[in-house]
């Protein structure tokens, strides 16, 4: 495995960061999880936009332009001879001292990993998955802005721990007001009376690239889409429930907190959106190998 590390490509054994890096010490930085399908990097422009917006919120200056960053991602894939992959792009505050002050970190640190990922088994995409809601609340926007995809993921890890201890693969997190926010690493959708509903940004969510893609697909298919606050009551009584995420893609949920959702099988709308999403991944995004071969 070859990894881009702050200006050079190195074997993974040499891909190391300083113990004084504030990304390691304090979770100070931003990242993106990106997918490549069929020789294209899906929604790469949108991922880079979110990365740079998050960095701006943190007053973190990324040392390369978006155009240069795109080439870094593509070249990392080429160096590893990959056409289908999961990409982790990370920008940390960089090395500093043991204090909190980000001004003590003179330059950000950048690395890019291209590998593979399997989040859930195929059977769950075919038959659906069971999930739970957990007591851990999503970060409130005035404490740690959820819309910034930062390296500080402890809030999500707390919730993931609750799910794991209960023997569940994923969990729904509520916000401080008791409304549904998102899962530990995915966005959530429900179908009620034929309308596709997902929590708005104001619920304290990270606006997922896959989430937004699914909403666009649904609108193109004439499906009514709404961004509205809802509670666990609405989840339990929904006709369909599914999660979306870069790693998870689109995965149906057929049981939540022991309540059977709909018929207990993936719903028709969910199946249609899964199919349409897979088709979109074949044509969206810049080519890794413009000449047509690896």
Q: How far is it, in rounded angstroms, from Cα 147 to Cα 159?
A: 18
Say whether pLDDT at 290 is over 90: no
Distances (CA, A) of 5 to 10, 172, 250: 7, 35, 31
* Closest CA relative to residue 200, chosen from 234, 235, 236, 175: 175
Q: How far is it, in rounded angstroms, from Cα 223 to Cα 272?
A: 11
Confidence of residue 146 (pLDDT cuts 50, 70, 90): very high
Classify the phi-psi angles of 187: left when phi > 0, otherwise alpha if psi is within -120 to 50, otherwise beta: beta
- Percentage above 70 pLDDT, the chain: 99
Say whether pLDDT at 91 is over 60: yes
Residues 6+ apart with CB under 8 A from 225: 195, 196, 197, 198, 215, 218, 219
| Mean pLDDT of the region 94-107 | 96
Q: Which are the catalytic amino acids?
A: 149
Q: How far is it, in rounded angstroms, from Cα 187 to Cα 61?
A: 28
Give residue for tokens 């994923």. 170
Confidence of residue 13 (pLDDT cuts 50, 70, 90): very high
Sign, CA dihedral 5-205-54-101, equals negative
* pLDDT value of position 292: 56
pTM for this predicted structure: 0.94
Facing residues of 115 across strands?
A: 86
- Percentage above 90 pLDDT, the chain: 96
Say whether pLDDT at 293 is over 60: no
Give residue for tokens 């969510």. 205
Give residue for tokens 């926010």. 181
Say whether pLDDT at 192 is over 80: yes
Q: How far is it, in rounded angstroms, from Cα 6 to Cα 10?
A: 10
Say whether pLDDT at 118 is over 90: no
Domains identified in the chain and CATH numbers: 2-115 (3.30.470.10), 122-281 (3.20.10.10)
| Mean pLDDT of the region 78-104 | 97
Radius of gyration of the chain, Cα coordinates, nearest whole angstrom: 19
pLDDT tens readout for residues 226-284: 999 999 999 999 999 999 999 999 999 999 999 999 999 999 999 999 999 999 999 99
pLDDT tens readout for residues 28-75: 999 999 999 999 999 999 999 999 999 999 999 999 999 999 999 999
* pLDDT value of position 149: 97
Say whether pLDDT at 294 is over 70: no
* pLDDT value of position 174: 98
Alpha helices per DSSP H over 131-254: 154-165, 209-220, 232-236
Other beta carbons within 10 angstroms of residue 212's beta carbon come to 16
Q: How far is it, in rounded angstroms, from Cα 89 to Cα 105?
A: 20
| Mean pLDDT of the region 197-211 | 96
Token readout for 267 is: 């719903």
Token readout for 291 is: 């000449």
Tell me the average pLDDT of the chain. Answer: 96
């Amino acid at each position: 495995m070859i990894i881009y590390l702050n200006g050079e490509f190195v074997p993974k054994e040499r891909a190391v960061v300083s113990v004084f890096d504030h990304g390691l010490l304090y979770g100070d930085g931003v990242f993106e999880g990106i997918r490549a399908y069929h020789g294209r990097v899906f929604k790469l422009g949108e991922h880079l936009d979110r990365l740079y917006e998050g960095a701006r919120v943190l007053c973190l200056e990324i040392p390369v332009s978006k155009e240069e960053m795109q080439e870094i991602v593509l070249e990392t894939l080429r160096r590893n001879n990959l056409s289908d992959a999961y990409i982790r792009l990370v920008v940390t505050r960089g090395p500093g001292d043991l204090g909190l002050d980000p001004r003590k970190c003179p330059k950000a640190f950048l690395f890019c990993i291209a590998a593979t990922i399997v989040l859930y088994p195929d059977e769950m995409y075919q038959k659906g998955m069971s999930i739970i809601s957990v007591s851990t609340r999503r970060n409130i926007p005035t404490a740690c802005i959820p819309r910034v995809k930062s390296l500080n993921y402890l809030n999500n890890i707390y919730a993931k721990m609750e799910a794991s201890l209960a023997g569940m693969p994923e969990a729904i997190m509520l916000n401080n007001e008791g409304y549904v926010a998102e899962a530990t690493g995915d966005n959530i959708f429900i179908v009620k009376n034929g309308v596709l509903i997902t929590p708005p940004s104001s619920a304290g969510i990270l606006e997922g690239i896959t989430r937004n893609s699914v909403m666009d697909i649904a609108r193109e298919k004439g499906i009514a889409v709404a961004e509205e606050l809802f509670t666990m009551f609405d989840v339990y009584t929904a006709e369909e429930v599914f999660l979306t995420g870069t790693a998870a893609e689109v995965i149906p949920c057929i049981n939540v907190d022991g309540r059977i959702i709909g018929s207990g099988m993936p719903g028709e709308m969910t199946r249609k959106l899964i199919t349409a999403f897979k088709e979109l991944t074949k044509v969206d995004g810049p080519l890794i190998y413009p000449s047509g071969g690896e």
